Each structure stands twice: as C-alpha cells, then as structure tokens.
Amino acid sequence: MSSPIERFEQLALSAPLLETLKEIGYEAPSPIQAAIIPHLLDGHDVLGQAQTGTGKTAAFALPLLERLNLSERQPQVLVLTPTRELAIQVAEAFQSYARHLAGFHVLPIYGGQSISLQLRHLRRGVHVVVGTPGRIMDHLRRESLDLDQLRCVVLDEADEMLRMGFIEDVDWILEHTPPGRQVALFSATMPEVIRRVAHRHLRDPQEIKIQTRTATVAAVQQRYCQASGSHKLDVLTRVLEVEDVDAVLVFVRTKVATTELAERLEARGHACAALHGDMTQALRERTIEQFRNGGLDIVVATDVAARGLDVPRISHVINYDIPHDTEAYIHRIGRTGRAGRGGQAILFVAPREMRMLRTIERATRQPITPMQPPSQAAIAGHRLNRFKQQIRETLAAQELDFFHELVSRFEQEEEISVQDIAAALTYLMQRDRPLQVRETASPRPADVPRSRPEAEEDADSRSTRPRRERPREDADVDKIRYRLEVGHQHGATPQNIVGAIANEAGIESRYIGRIEIHDDYSTVDLPDGMPEEIFQHLKRVRVRQIPLNISRLGPSGPARERKRAVPGQAVGRVKSGGGFKRRPADREFGPGRRHRPEVES
C-alpha cells in the first residue's frame, strides 16, 4: 500500500511549479489534488467526482502544465467550462501557476468578447485554451482553432454544462479532437448522461470520488466582511476592538504572512504570535501552551500549522485570507465552538473571491451573513461600555478605603469637586485608548460588481460604442484624463477600474471621475497631482489580466473650466496630491512586492 501524499514535493512536479506553489501559499495537496495529479502526470484519462471548491483546478492545471512543450506555440490543452466567469477564473489559475514558466500563454475564449481579439491571440500562438462550448465551436467551424497538437481535454463542471444544455456541444467538440488525446472529466454529480459521455470519449479512466464534508459546527455563527488589500488590516483591528473575544485564531495563506501580520498586531498592543510549519516542535508547543493558558490572545496560523490544534477558549476564527477550498474552510472554523461553547467565524472577502464565498455556502449548506466593518462610533461605544464595566467590577471586588481617603483629602486641599477629580483620572486612564474616537472615514468595503447571469451569451453582443458613465458625485478638484489599455474586448467594467485604482493607488473612490470604456481602451478622470510612484505602480496593475499601462492625456473637460464659485461659497480643492495617499510600506502590492498585482472583480 502506497504511503499517503502529504506534501507537493512527493509529486513529480518540477522546481518552477513547486516554487510557485510555495509563493502562493499551498502547503499540502488537497485530497483531490493528491489523487488526481499522479494519474494525469502518467497520461491516464480521469473521471473525477468532486464539488466546486475542493481544489480541482490545481488538480488538473498543475500536471498539464508539467507536460506542456513550451517551444510549440499551438494549443496543447483545451478546457471546457459552462460559463465565461469560470473560463476567466480557470485561465487566471493557469497563468498564476505558470508564473515561472517562461513563454507560457493561456487564452480564455467566450461569447460576448471580441472575436477579432481572440483571432489575433490564436494567430500569435497559445499553449492552453479555456473556453465555453459555443465559442469553441465557432472557432472550430472557422478553422481558427487548430487542435492537431492537442494533448488533453478537460471538461470542468460537466453536470453544469448538462444543466445549461451544452452537453451535445461538448460531444461535438470532443469528436473534433485527435483520437489519442487525454481526457479529464470533472463533475459534482454523475448523472447517466454524463456517464454516457465518459463512456464514449474516455479510455479506461481512473475514477476518483472525493467525499466532501458538509456539516460544520452548529454552534458557530458565520459572517463575512468585504475587505481586500491594505484595508484588511484596518478592518481586522476594528473587529478585534468591538467583538467580545477571548482567544482569536487568524488564518492566512503563507508562512511569511503569519509573521508579518502577527508583528503588526503586536505593534497595535495585542498579545499575538505566529504559528507556521517552519517552527521547531518545541516553539510550536510553547506557543500553543501560551495560547491555551491565556498568555496569548491571538495566534496567526496557516492551515497546516493549525492541524490538530485544540484550544477550547478560542472564541473567534478569522479567515484573513479566504481558503483555497471548502475543506480548508470547514477545518478552520471547526477550531471554535468547542466544548459546548458558541463560536464566531468571520471571513474577509475581496471582490474576486465572491464566487468562492458562494461555493463555501453551498458546501456547508449554511448561510454566511454579511457584516459591515465596525465604525468609529461603534468602537467608541464599545470602549465606553468596557470602561464602565471595569468600574463596576472594581467597586464590587476591591477594597477602596485608602483611595476614598486620598480623593477626599485632595478635594479639600485643592478645592476641586469630586466630579472634576474623577474626570481627570478618567482622562489619564484612557489616554492610550481614547473613549472619544475622532470620526474618520470608515474603511471602504471592496467594490463588488453586480452579479451577471451565469448562462453563457454565445454571441458578439457587446457594443463597440464607448460606454459613458454617469458623472460621479466626486470631490471638486482639478482633474487629469488618463488612458488605460483595457476596454470592452477585455471584459473591463467600471467596477473593475474603480476597484483597481482605489485599492492600488490609495485614492478614495469619490475622487475618481468620469469613466469611458471603449473597445480596446478606457479613459478615467483622476485628480491632478498624482505622485510619480503611484503613476508608475498603476502602469503595472492588472484588470482582467491586462496591465493598465496608464498614460496621461491632459486636463479633463471639467478641469479645463474651473467651476464658478457661488457668491459666498468657497470652491473646494484638495491640497497636495488631490486625494492620493502615499502608499504605506506594508501594502500588499507596490515597489518591492513579491508578486505582481492581479486586480480582478
């Protein structure tokens, strides 16, 4: 009997892929990855039954990347997906895993995108094509998609393609692929129609069925909060302020992130430590023991490091980074709500992660309730209530005769009222954590795009005319118009552009002016005075996997004609930088970052 696969190093993956997995934060293969990767590496056909969110994209993408011949710029892998959203997601996953494979090219193909753009990319040559059935059929009929060198076909979410009426299209596409190609079929359920497709097109497939746990701890209340990028640390700090916490377990994806986040929380006054796989056993045991007996209030951990962790006093599990699969999520939140106690699980979700959130809800069969980042008023109220409770507890439990006499003597000597003395003592006590919190802008929830129908639109229905957005109710500042090299044909939306600029440039959305989306580029009005470091950074930021490559066009329309002030009313201007904030050193992206930004909403 072969030993279980617990590390990616046990799989026959090359050094570039293993390096990528380390950077992304994958510490151990999920059950489906451990089961599928060896078979696909050996060239076997695979019939996999697994729910979305179990890590199956990596299960087929990693071994297929391993078998590519990068010197041949022809399609060697074809992945069929039921929706354009999934096609984009899978293509992004391939691109992410292949970051250390020089010259790799992947192309998502779906209806509603400019077919001329797709033709141009196909002529240049790609290694992997990910697409929806209707648009793949269009290219096969045009003979613009050459499958002569195809090595593998992946059918992702086959049951969903059946539900949407694409199964006959899938049959037709498979009949137009070379007879010797490998086939991997994945489906959450295995109805008879899917089995018939597998029987016709798969050769002696290896059948893999992954049982997914769907029950979570009933005593755990699950919530999610929209937060991404540099906003997450601010939101986490606010959550820790207002929640009635005992012990908190915070999950991140990488070992490096455990140390960085633990240091930042410790700098904010929290008793905190990191827990990751590189720690010695002695240090790990000491950290857990401190966490168990109250010496630590917060532990920041990776999934692997938290295995087997049993600390009954954990009141909150916070998913600072969303897990890669549902199994990891279930394991994480199972660390709280133990010994008959209630527990709280809070998940931070970025715009591009909303699909994974819905997948987790389906897998756990429990709703995850939205929550707003705590406001400054809520923080002040919580501090005040805690202060009052401390006074009550002190009055009930402490012997205060000496202090009564001290206050009485001071009142007589200085001729100061007891109320003034109490007020002064209160001020001294709360200087480090003020009871009056100065109101500032709450962390803006990440921009979430409006949901689109999941059904594929297999037609070139998108208009080539520029989409003119209604002028935003923004701050009255001089603006410069900028050109962005992303447009309709790339799938760009105003939400993508606002989210990218707001999150990556540190500029509030109210300072972002008119956005016009054209076929292959867009324009946006931004405040005059953008710092050069932000301008250079935005050139590299990506929307829909396309670098913005931002360039200045000149003053925007409203900026050419300064608004006339109403008599007696001042015209507002932003001094120094027009709303741009200097990028803090601890931002996820920016100069010196380890990975390129991939902004996708």
| Residue 597 pLDDT exceeds 50 | no
Confidence of residue 107 (pLDDT cuts 50, 70, 90): very high
Residue 205 reports pLDDT greater than 90 = yes
Per mean pLDDT, which range of 346-355, 462-471, 518-527 is the poorest?
462-471
* H or E segment and range at residue 537: helix 532-540
Q: What is the pLDDT of residue 281?
A: 79
User: What pLDDT, on a 0 to 100 scale, did the predictor assign at position 579?
Assistant: 57
- 310-331 burial: b if 16+ Cβ within 10 Å, else e: ebeebbbbbbbbbbbbbbbbbb
pLDDT over 90, % of the chain: 35
pLDDT interval class at 464 (50, 70, 90): very low
Mean pLDDT, the chain, rounded, equals 80
The pLDDT value given to residue 594 = 33
Residue the block writes with tokens 């779906």: 110
Tokens of 540: 């590299």
Dihedral through CA 441, CA 447, CA 450, CA 456, nearest 10?
180
- Domain 220-375: which topology? Rossmann fold (3.40.50)
4-41 pLDDT per residue, tens: 777 888 898 999 999 998 887 777 888 889 999 999 99
What is the pLDDT averaged over residues 527-546?
83
Scanning 98-244, the segments in alpha helix (DSSP H) are 115-124, 133-142, 158-163, 167-175, 192-201, 231-242
Mean pLDDT of 186-203: 91
Q: Which two tokens stand for residue 137?
A: 């059929």
Helix, strand, coil content of the chain in percent (nearest 5): 40, 15, 45
pLDDT computed for residue 244 by the predictor: 85
pLDDT at residue 418, as a whole number? 85
Q: Is 274 exposed, middle or buried (0-12, 13-18, 19+ CB in 10 A)?
A: buried
Does residue 582 have a pLDDT over 60? Answer: no
State yes or no: pLDDT of 472 exceeds 50. Answer: no
pLDDT in the model for residue 373: 85
Number of H helices and number of E strands within the chain? 20, 21
Beta strands in 432-555 (DSSP E): 467-468, 479-484, 515-517, 522-527, 542-543, 546-547, 551-555
Mapping DSSP onto H, E and C, the string for 199-238 reads HHHCCCCEEEECCCCCCCCCCEEEEEEECCCCHHHHHHHH
| SS3 state of residue 546 | strand
Range of lowest pLDDT (85-89, 97-101, 443-447): 443-447
* Mean local confidence (pLDDT), 119-124: 93
User: Given a cut of 70, is residue 457 above it in pLDDT?
Assistant: no
Q: CA distances (Å), 207 to each of 46, 50, 254, in order?
A: 6, 11, 32
pLDDT tens per residue, range 223-236: 999 988 778 998 99
What are the residue boundaries of the structural domains of the chain, listed by start?
Answer: 8-209, 220-375, 384-429, 462-601
Lowest mean pLDDT among 345-359, 408-422, 576-590: 576-590
Per-residue pLDDT at 595? 35
Distance CA 493, CA 447 (A): 12
- pLDDT tens per residue, range 486-500: 888 777 888 888 888
**Alpha carbon distance 340, 585 (integer Å):** 43
Burial environment of residue 186 by CB neighbours within 10 A (0 to 12, 13 to 18, 19 or more): buried
Give the CATH fold of the 8-209 domain: Rossmann fold (3.40.50)
DSSP state of 79: E
Element (H, E) at 63: helix 56-66
At residue 337, φ and ψ (nearest 5 deg) are 70, 35
Q: 567 falls in which pLDDT band (50, 70, 90)?
A: very low
Domain pair 8-209 / 220-375, same fold: yes
